[in-house]
Chain A
Amino acid sequence: MKYLDEYRDPALARRLLAELGAVATRPWRLMEVCGGQTHTLVRQGIDELLPAGIRMIHGPGCPVCVTPVAVIDRALELAATPDVVFTSFGDMLRVPGTSTSLLQVKAAGGDVRVVYSPADAVRIAAAEPRRRVVFLAVGFETTAPANAAAVLLAESLGLTNFSMLVSHVLVPPAITAILEDPECLVDGFLAAGHVCSVMGYTEYEPIAARYRVPLVVTGFEPLDLLEGILMAVHQLESGRHEVENQYARAVHRDGNQVAQEAIRRVFRVADKEWRGIGSIPDSGLVLADGYERFDAALWFPSGPRSPESASECIAGQILTGVKTPTDCPAYGTRCTPRHPLGAPMVSSEGTCAAFFSAGRTAAAPSPALNAATS
Chain B
Amino acid sequence: MTASPLFTACPAPTAETEHVLLGHGSGGRLSAELLSEVILPGFGLAGSAGRPLEDAAVLPLPTAEIVMSTDSFVVDPLFFPGGDIGSLAVHGTVNDLAMMGAVPVALAVAFIVEEGFGMRELGRISQSLGRAAHAAGVKVVTGDTKVVGRGAADRLFITTTGLGVRMPLARPSAGRVRPGDVLLLSGPIGLHGVTILSTRDSLGFETEIGSDSQPLHRVVAAAVAAGGDGVRALRDPTRGGVASALNELAAASGVGVLVEETALPVPEPVSAACDLLGLDVLHVANEGCLLAFVAPDKADAVLAAMRSRPESPGAVRIGQAVAEHPRRVVVRTGIGAERVLDMLVGEQLPRIC
Q: How far is the CA of A367 from the CA of B339 in the complex (A)?
A: 8
Which stretch, B159-167, B184-192, B344-352, touches the partner chain A?
Answer: B344-352
Contact A374 B202 (CB under 8 A): no
The residues of A that contact B271 with a CB separation of less than 8 Å are: 1, 4
B275 at the interface (CB under 8 A from A): yes
Question: Does A44 sit at the interface, judged by CB under 8 A?
Answer: yes
Q: Does A160 contact B (CB under 8 A)?
A: no
Select B335's contact among A13, A39, A367, A370, beta carbons within 8 Å.
A13
User: B327, A368: Cβ atoms under 8 Å?
Assistant: no
- Cα of A165 to Cα of B258 in the assembled complex, Å: 45
List chain A residues, Cβ under 8 A from B337.
Answer: 44-46, 48-49
Contacts of B335 in A (CB 8 A): 8, 10, 13-14, 44-46, 49, 222
**Cβ of A369 and Cβ of B324 under 8 Å apart?**
yes
Cβ contacts under 8 Å, A318 to chain B: none
Residue of B nearest to A103 (CB): B346
List of A residues within 8 angstroms of B336 by Cβ: 10, 13-14, 49
A357 CA / B282 CA spacing, docked (Å): 13
A16's closest neighbor in chain B, by CB?
B335
How close is A355's CB to chain B, nearest CB, in angstroms? 10
* Distance between Cα atoms of A90 and B346 in the complex (Å): 12
A366 to B324, CA, bound (A): 14
Contact call B349/A45, Cβ cutoff below 8 A: no
**Residue pair A368, B325 in contact (C-beta under 8 Å):** yes
The answer to whether B203 and A374 have CB atoms under 8 Å apart is: no
Q: How far is the CB of B338 from chain A (nearest CB, A)?
A: 4
Q: Is the CB of B339 within 8 A of A45?
A: yes
Q: Is the CB of A359 within 8 A of B351?
A: no
Report the Cα distance A91→B271, complex, angstroms: 20
CB-CB contacts below 8 Å: A38-55 with B: 39, 42-46, 48-49
Tally inter-chain residue pairs, CB-CB below 8 A. 127
- The stretch among A112-120, A256-264, A306-314 that forms the contact with chain B is A112-120
CB distance from B209 to the nearest CB of A (A): 14
Task: Give bound CA distance, A100 to B352, whole Å.
Answer: 21
Assess the A116–B350 pair: CB atoms within 8 A. Answer: yes
Q: Distance (Å) between the CB of B54 and the closest chain A CB? A: 41
Kindly identify which residue among B275, B324, B338, B351 contacts A91, using a CB–CB cutoff of 8 Å: B351
Asked if B278 lies at the interface with its beta carbon under 8 angstroms from chain A, I say: yes
Q: Are B353 and A222 in contact (CB under 8 A)?
A: no
Pair A116/B349 contact, Cβ less than 8 Å? no
Whether A63 sits at the interface, judged by CB under 8 Å, is yes
Q: Which of A1, A338, A367, A368 is close to B345, meaning CB atoms less than 8 Å apart?
A: A338
- A358:B339 contact, CB within 8 angstroms: yes
A142 closest partner in B (C-beta): B353
The answer to whether B333 and A371 touch across the interface, beta carbons within 8 angstroms, is no
Contact B350 A369 (CB under 8 A): no
The A321-374 residues at the B interface (CB cut-off 8 A) are 336-338, 347-349, 356-359, 366-371, 374
Q: In the bound complex, do residue A357 and residue B340 qualify as a contact, i.e. CB atoms below 8 Å apart?
A: yes
Q: Say whether, besides A44-B333, A138-B352, A142-B353, A359 and B202 are in contact (CB < 8 Å).
A: no
The answer to whether B349 touches A1, judged by C-beta atoms less than 8 angstroms apart, is no
Whether the Cβ atoms of A94 and B346 lie closer than 8 Å is yes
Contacts of A348 in B (CB 8 A): 278, 349, 351
Q: Interface extent on A, as a size class? A: 35 or more
Residues of B within 8 A of A222 (CB): 333-335
* Residues of chain A from 77 to 134 with CB closer than 8 A to chain B in the complex: 89-94, 103, 114-117, 120
Judged by a CB distance under 8 angstroms, whether A214 is at the interface is no
Which residues of chain B from 298 to 313 have any CB-CB distance to chain A below 8 Å in the complex?
Answer: none
Chain B residues contacting A140 (CB-CB under 8 Å) are: 353
| CB of B204 within 8 Å of the partner chain | yes
Residue from B268, B271, B326, B339 with most neighbouring chain A CB atoms (10 Å): B339
The docked-state distance in angstroms from the alpha carbon of A222 to that of B326 is: 28
Partner of B339, one of A36, A143, A359: A359
Residue B342 is within 8 A (CB to CB) of chain A in the complex: yes
**B352–A139 contact, CB under 8 A?**
yes
The answer for the CA separation of A40 and B352 in the assembled complex, in Å, is 15
Closest Cβ of chain B to A303, distance in Å, is 25
User: Residue of A at shortest CB range from B262?
Assistant: A10
Considering the chains assembled together, what is the distance between the CA atoms of A45 and B335 in angstroms? 8
- Partner pick for A194 among B256, B262, B353, CB 8 A cutoff: B353
Task: Please measure, in the bound complex, the distance between the C-alpha atom of A359 and the C-alpha atom of B250, giving whole angstroms.
Answer: 15
- CB-CB < 8 A to B352: which residues of A? 63-64, 89, 91-92, 138-139, 143, 347, 349
- 145-180 of chain B: CB within 8 A of chain A: none
- Decide: A371 and B353 in contact? CB cutoff 8 A: no
Indicate which residue in A91, A114, A143, A369 contacts B325 across the interface (CB closer than 8 Å). A369
9 contacts between A and B (CB under 8 A): A8-B334, A45-B339, A46-B335, A46-B337, A359-B339, A368-B339, A369-B324, A369-B330, A374-B325
Name A's B-contacting residues (CB within 8 A): 1, 4, 8, 10, 13-14, 36, 39, 42-46, 48-49, 63-64, 89-94, 103, 114-117, 120, 138-140, 142-143, 194, 222, 336-338, 347-349, 356-359, 366-371, 374
Supplied contacts A45-B337, A349-B352, A371-B328, 19 more A-B pairs, CB within 8 Å? A1-B272, A4-B271, A8-B335, A14-B336, A36-B353, A45-B338, A45-B339, A46-B335, A48-B338, A92-B352, A117-B204, A143-B353, A222-B333, A222-B335, A338-B345, A366-B338, A369-B324, A369-B325, A374-B325
